[in-house]
Amino acid sequence: MKKITRRNFNKLVGAFGTVSALETLGRGPTLLLAAERHVVVVGGGFGGATAAKYLRLMDPNLKVTLVEPKRSYFTCPFSNQVLGGMKTMEELTYSYKKLQRKYGINVVHVAAARINAVSKTVLLQDGKNLTFDRIIVAPGIDMRFDQIENYKPEDTDFIPHAWKGRSATLRLLQQLESMPNGGMVLICPPALPYRCPPAPYERASLVAHYLSQHKPRSKILILDAKEQFPKQALFSAGWKSLYGRMIEWFNGSAGGLILRADAKNMTVETEFGIEKGDVINLIPAQWAGRIARASGLSDESGWCPVDLLTFESTLLPGIHVIGDAAIAGVMPKSGFSANNQAKVTAAAVIALLKEKEPTSYPISNTCYSFLAPDYAIYVTAEYQLSGRELVKINGSGGVSPLNVDLSVRHSEAVSAQRWYDSITQDMFG
């Protein structure tokens, strides 16, 4: 296995800095194939859109098809700001047109139904088949409604999860706007693993920001399946200073584990009793998106095991799985993780098509969380392969310090916005 330094990796994938990814790659060597080969990418989110773009940047002769049913993409990162009244839906919505025009990617707006690893075809829901030499699948997540008694997909009209897609976020926003001053908001995070572990607590923060401005007598109760949560000390300190006693958190052993839901009566049940909410944001357990499960890419856990050098499925050869659906060890499921995995996988796919040995790259993850419009915190880490596992690089990354001047939180909020602008430009620009 070849090794590469962090510095050289950034030259390849275009780290977010003063030099854009396109400019960096334009000056560096490309991995050109002798004859046209076809790579299909399924899913147009943080993983899929990035993978499609970087395949073309790394080899302009490669034919790339992106299969994504939606004509625009609404980012889950920063969507909590919509609930807090800080962003509009439109500000978080992106088109695929530039990927087509600027990078020559063939974008097919039809859902993928099933992938056949033997025939190297992907069946689309319109009945057509696409053939491929290799395929990258970024299927995202689906909800496991069967994990909570009496909670059904149709109940999300009344008890929304708002954990994927534009419409669910809009429903939750409308409920917050309609609830009375003095009402109760229940936020119910699942056990790990799930998409973006700190996000439920950012959501509680920004819902509290909205309520403090418009419905200050209201309360937020977090009923958590876990015993602890990411950046807990930072969130707890921020909640106390920003919102007083508006937010209250209960862990699983203290009555936070949801056993049953009743959408008709707007209640959830724990082993300690029944809680009623004017708004209930129940976030179910999750697993890999449908196309991955239908194609045999997931194991008994519901997630997709992969070779972490190439993100190639360990169940079906020639198929690479990235993003939230992949089992990536200690690496959290996040947009930034998916973006980094996409670049590593694009390089690996091109190397494999050339019958070359893939290179091992370090992979980064950074997660910002807003507690108010001008108050943010972060955690960041870098990972590298050790044998067949990803491990955190000693001394890498860090977390926001506790007990600092508010100017530090303001600075981190500015950095968070810059991060979002950079990564969405990296995906769609």
pLDDT of 192-242, one tens digit each? 999 999 999 999 999 999 999 999 999 999 999 999 999 999 999 999 999
Specify the DSSP class assigned to residue 64: E
Query: Tokens standing for 422?
Result: 């950079």
- Crossing angle for the helix pair 335-353 and 48-58, to the nearest 10 degrees: 40
Domain coordinates of the chain in residue numbers?
Answer: 2-142+288-361, 145-284
Q: What is the pTM of this model?
A: 0.92
Tell me how far apart the alpha carbons of residues 3 and 156 are, in angstroms, rounded to a whole number: 47
Cα-based torsion angle of the residue sequence 101, 167, 421, 187 in order, rounded to the nearest 10 degrees? -160
pLDDT of amino acid 196: 98
400-408: average pLDDT: 97
pLDDT of amino acid 36: 84
Tell me how far apart the alpha carbons of residues 131 and 116 are, in angstroms, rounded to a whole number: 10
- Half-sphere exposure at residue 246, Cβ-oriented, CA atoms within 13 angstroms: 26
Neighbour count for residue 250 (Cβ, 10 Å): 16
Query: Tokens standing for 427?
Result: 């995906």
One fold for 2-142+288-361 and 145-284: yes
pLDDT of amino acid 69: 98
pLDDT of 292-347, one tens digit each? 999 999 999 999 999 999 999 999 999 999 999 999 999 999 999 999 999 999 99
Element containing residue 326 per DSSP (H, E): strand 326-327
Superfamily of domain 145-284: FAD/NAD(P)-binding domain (3.50.50.60)
pLDDT of 35-44, one tens digit each? 689 999 999 9
Sheet holding 319-321, edge to edge: 106-108, 63-67, 38-42, 134-137, 319-321, 312-313, 304-307, 326-327
Q: Which amino acid is at 188?
A: C
DSSP-derived 3-state class of residue 167: helix
Answer yes or no: CATH 3.40.50.2300 is held by domain 2-142+288-361: no
Single out the residue of 99, 128, 121 nearest to residue 40, CA to CA.
Answer: 121
Tell me how far apart the alpha carbons of residues 348 and 402 are, in angstroms, rounded to a whole number: 40
